[in-house]
Amino acid sequence: MKSNTARKSSFSLPAAEHAQVLRLRRLLKASSNTEVIRRSLKLLEESVSREELRRQFREASASVRSSTLEAVRELDSLSGDGLEDA
């Protein structure tokens, strides 16, 4: 087989998982079982990407948390300035 030839795969599923694919196919009005699998894989990949982004935000937040709290403490005394004039 040539290395640049498109590859196809077939998968065997246990009865319960095959039934799940068939249920999803009906619910999604998908044209084929393959479409169900493709859509499922796309959603899974998006979910993993979102979780990775959340992890990166958590790390970034943790790395600046102490300096942010310090800045808030410094600015807290200024929060009421000028309000008595209103």
pTM of the predicted structure, to 2 decimals:
0.60
Whether 49 is in a domain gets the answer: yes
- Tell me which residue range forms the domain holding 58: 15-76
Cβ neighbours for 33, distance < 8 A, ≥ 6 positions apart = 21, 22, 25
Whether 6 is in a domain gets the answer: no
Whether 23 is in a domain gets the answer: yes
Helical (H) or strand (E) element with 18: helix 15-28
Whether 1 is in a domain gets the answer: no
Whether 84 is in a domain gets the answer: no
Please compute, for residue 58, the number of CA atoms within 13 A of its CA located in the half-sphere on the CB side: 6
pLDDT of residue 81: 65
Helices (H) and strands (E) in the chain, counts: 2, 0
Whether 25 is in a domain gets the answer: yes
State how many domains the chain has: 1
Whether 3 is in a domain gets the answer: no
pLDDT (tens digit, 9 = 90+) per residue, 19-65?
Answer: 999 999 999 999 999 999 999 999 999 999 999 999 999 999 999 99
Q: Looking at residues 67-79, what average pLDDT do you find?
A: 85
User: At residue 2, does pLDDT exceed 60?
Assistant: no
